Amino acid sequence: MLGLRVALAVAAACLICGGHALAAIGDDPLQSPQWTDIKDRYLGAAKAIFDPRVVVSGPRVAEDSMNVPVGIRITGLSEVRRVLVIADLNPIVKVLEFSPKGALPFLHFRMKLQQGSPVRAMVQTADGVWHVGGIWIDARGGGCTAPSVGRSSANWTETLGQVQSRVWQGEAQSRVKLSIMHPMDTGLAPGIPAFYIERLSLQDAAGKEWMTLDTFEPVSENPVFSFDFTGPPPPGLSLVGRDNNGNRINAKVAQ
Amino acid sequence: MIAGLLRTLAGRVFVALMFGAALHAPRLAAESLDYRLEPRKIADDTWVLIGKTEDFSRSNGGNIVNTAFVVTAVGVVVIDSGPSRLYAEQMRRAIARITPKPVIRVFNTHHHPDHFLGNQVFADVPTAALAATIAGQRQEGTAFTDNVYRLSGDWIKGTEPAPARETVAPGVKVVANHEFELIALSGHTDGDLVILDRSTGVLFAGDLVFYNRAPTTPHATMGQWLAALDRLDAISYRTMVPGHGEPVSDGRAIKQTRRYLRWVENTMRQAVERGDDMAEVLGLAVPAEFASIPLSREEFARSVAHLYRRYETGTLSRRE
C-alpha cells in the first residue's frame, strides 16, 4: 500500500517534472537538450519556426569527424537574408553564417564534429522570421580537438590561402566549387592556437558582393564550398577573404 | 517548498531511471558474452569461423569477420585473430576442442581491427604479417581499439592492440605436411596478405574479397585493389575464404567484389565531373545489383568519406 502511494507520488511528480523537461526541449524535432539555449542565444525573441523548406543533408553517421559533409537547400522561401549553421553539441557551436545575396540559397561544405549532434540551418527571411531545419549526425568524436592534418607536413605555410576552383555551367543553373588551403585550427588541440578563415565573399569585377560567408573554427581544414547561381556565374567573379591572423585570400574563380 | 523539492527530486530520479534504462537495456550480462564460435571444416585439416555479415555492434561483439586455422602435423596455423581478446580466447578454446596440437603461428592478413585485435592472446607464439600491416597495426592499433570498444562495448574489455612481431616475406613456407604460398598484395590496405595452402587448395583471400557483404574502404587504393583481384583470379584454388561472407568454390566472390568496387569508383568519378558535393553523393541511389548486398548503403556512404576528396581534387584548378 505504501509502495503504491510512493509509486503514485512519483508518477504525479513525473508528470510535473517530465512535462517541464519536455517544455524545455520545446517543439524541437531533434529533441536536443541545448535547443532552448541556442534559440535564446542566436535568435533571441524573434519568431522561429521549424520549417521543412530548410533542408539539411549529410551522413547519418560521420565516418570522418574532421570532414563531415553537409548540404543546405532552401526552397520556396523568398528573401533569404542570413543562414546560420550551428551544431548544438559541438564545443564551438557556430559553424558559419551565409548570406546568399545574388547566389541561390544553397550551400555545400564540410565540417568538424566533436560528437553526435544536431546540425541545423537557421534561416532568417526579410520579415525577420527564422526558419529552422536540421538533421542529427552521429559521430565517434574528436573532430574538433585533433590537430589539423596539414600541421604534420613542413610546408603548409607555402600553400596557405591557395585557391582551387571550377565552374560547372548547367542549363538553368551554374555551380562554383572552390577549395582553400588553410589549417582551420580550432584552438582546442593542445598548444595550437585558433587559426581559421573568418570571412569569404564572392565579388564580381565591379566589386559587387554576390555572397558573403563568415566561417568559424568547426569548418573543415582546407575547406571546400559549393555555391550555386541562377544562370551563369557573374563575370569576373573573385573569391576575397581573410583569416583571423590577417592573411588575405584573393583569387579569380570565374572569367 | 519541501513538497516542491521532493517533486523535483522524484522527477530527477524518474528521468534518471528512464535514461538509465534506455542506456543499460541492450547491455548484456558478462556471462552471456559468448561468441558461440563453431569451427566449420572446409577441407582436410582446415576450419573456418564464419562471422556475421554485419558491422560492429553491441550484440555481435565484433564477430563480423572470418578467421581460420589449419591443423598441420606439427601444430596449428591461425589466420587472423579476430576483433578482441575475448574472441581470441574463445577461438583458442574452439581450436582445442578440435585438436590437442598447440598453436604454432598466427598470420594477420592485414591491419584492420577485426583481423588482429586478438593477437594479445597469442603472445606465446610467433605472430606474423606483412611489413606494411605491422606499420599500420602500430600506428592505428590504439585508435582502432577505442573505436571498436565504442561500437561493441563490453565484448572488447581488456583488449590491447598487439602488432605482429614477425615480418612475413612473400614466398613458400612449408609447415610439416602443409605448403603455404604467402602472396603480398595491396589495395584493401597497404599490406594485404593472401595465403594459398597448396596442400589443400584453400585460398585465404583476406579482405581483398568480400562476399555478400559490402566491401569496406577506409584504407583502400582502388587501382591496386582491382589489380589484386586480377592476380587472385589467376590463381587456381578449390575453396576461397573471403575476409567477410561465405566461402566459395568459384570466382563469384571476386567477381562481386570487383563489380562493386568498379561501381563505387565510377559513381565517384561521374559525381566529381558533374560537380556534385559530398552530401549530394550520399543521396545517390544504390543500384539493385548492390542494394541487396548487406551494408551496401552504409559502406557506400563511408566510401564517400574515404575516397571522394581524392577524386574531387583532380577536378579543381589553381586560381590566382
What's CA B71's distance to the chain center, in Å?
A: 23
What's chain A's length in residues? Answer: 255
Q: What is the β-pairing status of strands B76-79 and B67-71?
A: antiparallel
* Across A31-47, average pLDDT: 92
CA gap B43, B237 in Å, rounded: 12
* Across B48-53, average pLDDT: 98
CA gap B27, B40 in Å, rounded: 29
Indicate whether B1 pLDDT > 50. no
* Model confidence, pTM: 0.87
Name which of A215, A156, A213, A165 is nearest A183 in CA terms. A156
**Domains delineated in chain B:** 30-251 (3.60.15.10)
Q: Within an 8 Å CB–CB cutoff, is residue B129 touching chain A?
A: no
Contact A139, A116 (CB under 8 A): yes
Which residues of B, range 216-275, sit inside 8 Å of A by Cβ?
Answer: 218, 274-275
Using a CB-CB distance cutoff of 8 angstroms, which residues of chain B are in contact with residue A165?
316-317, 319
**Domains delineated in chain A:** 32-252 (2.60.40.2470)
* Across B187-206, average pLDDT: 98
Q: pLDDT tens-digit profile of A86-145?
A: 999 999 999 999 999 999 999 999 999 999 999 999 999 999 999 999 999 998 766 676
Name which of A149, A122, A143, A145 is nearest A133 in CA terms. A122
Indicate whether A21 pLDDT > 50. no
- The residue assigned the cell 568524436 is A141
C-alpha cell at A179: 577549395
Q: pLDDT tens-digit profile of A66-88?
A: 999 999 999 999 899 999 999 99
CA gap A90, A117 in Å, rounded: 7
- When computed from its CA atoms, the radius of gyration of chain A, rounded to whole angstroms, is 21
- The residues, ordered by sequence, that sit 6+ positions from A221 with a Cβ below 8 Å of its Cβ are A66, A67, A148, A149, A150, A182, A183, A184
Indicate whether A148 pLDDT > 80. no
Using a CB-CB distance cutoff of 8 angstroms, which residues of chain A are in contact with residue B268?
none
**How far is the alpha carbon of A253 from chain B, nearest alpha carbon, in Å?**
6
Q: Within an 8 Å CB–CB cutoff, is residue A171 touching chain B?
A: no
CB spacing of A164 vs B318 below 8 angstroms: yes
Burial of B183 (0-12, 13-18, 19+ CB in 10 A): buried
CA gap B227, B219 in Å, rounded: 16
Using a CB-CB distance cutoff of 8 angstroms, which residues of chain A are in contact with residue B316?
164-166, 177-179
Indicate whether A22 pLDDT > 60. no
Report the range of poorest mean pLDDT among A31-35, A36-40, A133-137, A138-142.
A138-142
Of B11, B282, B320, the CB nearest to A18: B11
pLDDT of residue A157: 86
Name which of A73, A135, A62 is nearest A98 in CA terms. A73
- The residues, ordered by sequence, that sit 6+ positions from A145 with a Cβ below 8 Å of its Cβ are A91, A114, A186, A188, A189
Report the range of poorest mean pLDDT among A18-22, A203-207, B45-49.
A18-22
Residue of B nearest to A159 (CA): B318
* Across A167-184, average pLDDT: 96
Which residues of A, range 55-74, sit inside 8 Å of B by Cβ?
Answer: 57-64, 67, 69-71
Indicate whether B18 pLDDT > 70. no
